[in-house]
């Protein structure tokens, strides 16, 4: 079945460092891909999405490009802030099944 | 920005009791979902609901669980005879279109603690 694999955490960075969180997926169809963020004590917030190959999702300085050839959707940010500390979830949905399949989440800790 | 609202934010219940978790989806959304996240683990799909019936459910969603849209605005998850392992964060979500092409919007969650 469909699945999402993302890098283990925690990822620990200093403020202004470059961030990459890897995400790869397995899907039989043509899924939409998402990154969700969960700040401490809060719910899931959609960070960005891409619905077809080569689409780039972006929001709040974060970017991810839907790469069909490598089945990847890596999250990047050029300069992280302490306020970016959170758990980041990669997820996919397939129109035929209409549910989100999440990765295990990657905790990001940014220190001043 | 429209929100999905969940109540209560935290519920403590005794093992064996019934609980009802409530959600108010975004008003023009047609597809509704429940997910759960056991502490420290991944977010898992429970059930999807469209046109007043269940569209899909996971193997977690057994006879202990039920969902209902009792009126035009609320969407509820009922857990009968709660067990310790039902302790988790439960998220409601809604979507305008099937497959999340326009994105899924999640509520802030209800933390259920079964003691």
Residue with tokens 């683990």: B41
Q: How far is Cα of residue A77 from the mean position of the Cα atoms in its chain? A: 11
Least confident of A40-44, A50-54, B58-62: A40-44
CA of A93, closest CA in chain B: separation in Å? 6
Residue B103 gets which letter from DSSP? -
Could you tell me if A97 and A109 are in contact, meaning their C-beta atoms sit under 8 angstroms apart? no
Q: How confident is the model at residue B98 (pLDDT cuts 50, 70, 90)?
A: confident
DSSP string, A46-109: EEEEE-STT-EEEETTEEEE-BTTTTB--EEESS--GGG-EEEEEEEE-TTT--EEE---EEEE
Nearest-Cα residue of chain B relative to residue A45: B106
- When pLDDT is averaged across residues A13-22 and rounded to a whole number, the result is 97
Query: Nearest CB to B99: which of A91, A98, A101?
Result: A98
CB contact under 8 A, A104 and B42: yes
- Residue that the structure tokens 């939409």 belong to: A32
Asked if the model's pLDDT at residue A57 lies above 70, the reply is: yes
Calculate mean pLDDT across residues A38-48.
88
Looking at the predicted structure, is the pLDDT value of residue A16 above 90? yes
Whole-angstrom distance, CA of residue A63 vs CA of residue A47? 9
Question: A102 CB near a chain B CB, below 8 Å?
Answer: yes
Whether residue B40 lies within 8 A of chain A, CB to CB, comes out as: no
pLDDT digits (tens, 9 = 90+) for A70-107: 999 999 999 999 999 999 999 998 767 788 999 999 99
Token pair listed for B33? 């979902």
Nearest chain B Cα to A47, which residue? Answer: B103
* Rounded (10°) CA dihedral B22, B30, A43, A72: 150
- In whole angstroms, what is the distance from residue B13 CA to residue B83 CA? 10
Environment class of residue A59 by beta-carbon count within 10 Å: exposed (0-12), middle (13-18) or buried (19+)? middle
Name which residue leads in pLDDT, A97 or B87: B87
CB-nearest partner of A44 from B91, B99, B101: B91
Q: What is the pLDDT of residue B41?
A: 85
């Amino acid at each position: 079945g469909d699945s999402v694999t993302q890098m283990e955490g925690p990822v620990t960075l200093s403020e202004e460092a470059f961030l990459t969180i890897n995400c790869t997926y397995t899907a039989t169809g043509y899924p939409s891909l998402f990154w969700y963020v969960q700040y401490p004590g809060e719910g899931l917030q959609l960070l960005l999405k891409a619905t077809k190959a080569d689409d780039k999702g972006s929001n709040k300085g974060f970017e991810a490009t839907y790469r069909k050839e490598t089945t990847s959707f890596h999250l990047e940010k050029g300069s992280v802030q302490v306020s970016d500390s959170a758990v980041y979830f990669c997820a996919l949905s397939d129109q035929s099944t209409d549910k989100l399949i999440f990765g295990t989440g990657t905790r990001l800790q940014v220190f001043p | 920005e429209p929100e999905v609202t969940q109540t209560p934010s935290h519920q403590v219940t005794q093992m064996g009791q019934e609980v009802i978790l409530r959600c108010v989806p975004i008003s023009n959304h047609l597809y509704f979902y429940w997910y759960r996240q056991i502490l420290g683990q991944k977010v898992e799909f429970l059930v999807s609901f469209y046109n007043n019936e269940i569209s899909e459910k996971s193997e977690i969603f057994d006879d202990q669980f039920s969902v209902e849209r009792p009126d035009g605005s609320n969407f509820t998850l009922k857990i009968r005879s709660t067990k310790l392992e039902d302790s988790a964060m439960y998220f409601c979500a809604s979507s305008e279109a099937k497959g999340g092409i326009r994105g899924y919007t999640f509520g802030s969650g209800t933390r259920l603690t079964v003691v």
